[in-house]
Amino acid sequence: MSAKIKYAYLRHNTWIYRRTYPKPLQPVLGSALKRSLRTSDARTAQSRVKDLNATYDRIVMEAENQLKEANQEPSDRLDVTLPRFKRLRLIGEQEVGALASTYLAAAYQRLRPGSYKSVRFAMELLSSHLGAQKIGELSPSTGREVLALIGQLSPNIRKYAEAQGQSLSQLAELSQTLEGISLTPQTQRRIWEQMSAFLDWCVEQGESDTNPWEKLKVNAPPEPDPHRVLTDKQVVILLAEKDRALHGALLFGLLTGLRSGEICGLMAEDVTQKGNLGWFVMVRPNAVRLLKSKAAEREVPLHPVLEQYLDGSYGRQGRLFPSLSVDRVVKSYAKLRSLHPELSGTVFHSTRKWFVTQCERTGVPEHFTAALVGHQSARSQNRLTYGLYSAGINDEQKREIIDQLRLPVEVSP
């Protein structure tokens, strides 16, 4: 025999709340307040009935007050919100695919496009392999299986038509068939950490008791394969090409050490003059792009070559490079690399490495260079004395460093 609850009854194993409105108010409010309590448990239903009784009293009170004040029918809107109840479910019963979709929707709101794309790829791999499995059924053995499959993926697997719509296990098999090479340990570790972060989120949301993959990790040591630093000969080749899209960006990269994204987002109003110290460019977040870190926000003096290049642009408004994007920078540099085999192994970011190399060769202290390129200061081992107490180098010191830089003599003015 089921329990008895005032204003509630059990139907199809779900408690339903129903309470009739006073007759004078029924023409405007309807006959009764009726809501599903979304539970089959009598104690939970009794607690939710108390909430709805309080809501019922507020509805009746506001409707009566409107009738008294206006001496007419109340308006079609009452300032009362009905409580919403979620159906009870056991921890671990949600499917991985459904939770991954919810996780991605939240990630889309907080991440930049590039970071979100990386997280989405990791979630797609996980959902394709374990999407129909309940989150509570995941175990260290399934984690080791996923980890092994990630280790078999090739770097270019997403570019093949045969890979579209395939699961993680199918992608791993295709990778070995088509290329026979695998992702670097760094990339494997990034994908795995994103999957593990998703499981941590499931724990925070109450969908799982623990992260069963918490102790698993990629054991392979990192394989650093850094892009080369540009030589003076390569700098001459790049600037002599006078590429229509990339020439200005190359000059900025070589003579300020700015990243490609920072260059693409430069605005005309970011270029300011500081008396006899000349022109400076302010690197700061704007509507076009954000910055990589807090340390990336900085002011850098413009080299005389850049001042000459920007001659006549100081008073205008808008972007300095309106047609330039990071994607176009990457593709334009790849085109130059295909035209000149001597540039093999370099990327646009190599211009920033050339800038740092020139600073080192002219005797600039490392923490001075860090301030110019937007790195977290390496001024002391524990980052305490200079990191917390110093205001950093001043504009005169920055100007002195920049003025020491020299492009190769073979570069035409």
Cα dihedral angle (218, 223, 227, 228), rounded to 10 degrees?
160
342 within 8 A of 234, measured Cβ to Cβ: yes
Answer yes or no: is 176 within a domain: yes
233 within 8 A of 407, measured Cβ to Cβ: no
Contacts of 102 (CB under 8 A, 6+ apart): none
Q: How confident is the model at residue 2, as a pLDDT?
A: 61
Give the count of domains, the chain. Answer: 3
| Residue 331's pLDDT band (cuts 50, 70, 90) | very high
Q: How confident is the model at residue 383, as a pLDDT?
A: 55
| Residue 1's pLDDT band (cuts 50, 70, 90) | very low
- 32 SS3 class: strand
Q: What is the pTM of this model?
A: 0.61
> Phi, psi (5° rounding) for residue 174?
-65, -40
Length of the chain as a residue count = 413
Q: Are residues 125 and 55 in the same domain?
A: no
Lowest mean pLDDT among 246-255, 307-316, 391-400: 307-316
CA separation for the pair 354, 106 (Å, rounded)? 39
Sign of CA dihedral 93, 97, 98, 104: positive
The pLDDT tens digits of the residues spanning 179-237 come to 878 888 999 999 999 999 999 999 998 888 889 999 999 887 776 667 788 999 999 99
**pLDDT over 70, % of the chain:** 88
Which helix (H) or strand (E) segment holds residue 167: the answer is none
Q: Are residues 244 and 377 in the same domain?
A: yes
- 224 SS3 class: coil
Q: Are residues 60 and 103 in the same domain?
A: no
Nearest to 244 by CA among 317, 324, 330: 324
- Kindly state the average pLDDT of the residues 402-407: 90
The single residue listed with the structure tokens 């850049």 is 306
| Mean pLDDT of the chain, nearest integer | 85
| Residue 72's pLDDT band (cuts 50, 70, 90) | low
The pLDDT tens digits of the residues spanning 338-390 come to 999 999 889 999 999 999 999 999 898 888 888 888 887 654 455 545 555 56
Q: Are residues 190 and 323 in the same domain?
A: no
More confident residue, 40 or 237: 237
103, 128, 171, 273 from 161: Cα distances, Å: 28, 17, 11, 53
The pLDDT tens digits of the residues spanning 123-161 come to 999 999 999 999 989 999 999 999 999 999 998 888 888
Q: Which pair of structure tokens corresponds to residue 287?
A: 């509507």
Q: Are residues 246 and 355 in the same domain?
A: yes
Q: Are residues 252 and 389 in the same domain?
A: yes
- Kindly state the average pLDDT of the residues 236-260: 92
CA separation for the pair 251, 5 (Å, rounded)? 78
Answer yes or no: is 89 within a domain: no
Q: How confident is the model at residue 29, as a pLDDT?
A: 84
More confident residue, 76 or 130: 130
Q: How confident is the model at residue 113, as a pLDDT?
A: 77
Q: Is 188 exposed, middle or buried (0-12, 13-18, 19+ CB in 10 A)?
A: buried
Amino acid letter for position 308: Q
Q: Which of 188, 204, 220 is at the close of a domain?
A: 204
The single residue listed with the structure tokens 């939710």 is 48
Q: Are residues 200 and 241 in the same domain?
A: no
The single residue listed with the structure tokens 């990269």 is 253
Q: Are residues 394 and 253 in the same domain?
A: yes
Residue 56 belongs to what domain range?
Answer: 8-70
Answer yes or no: is 358 within a domain: yes
Q: Are residues 66 and 103 in the same domain?
A: no
Q: Which pair of structure tokens corresponds to residue 364?
A: 């600039």
CA separation for the pair 282, 266 (Å, rounded)? 8
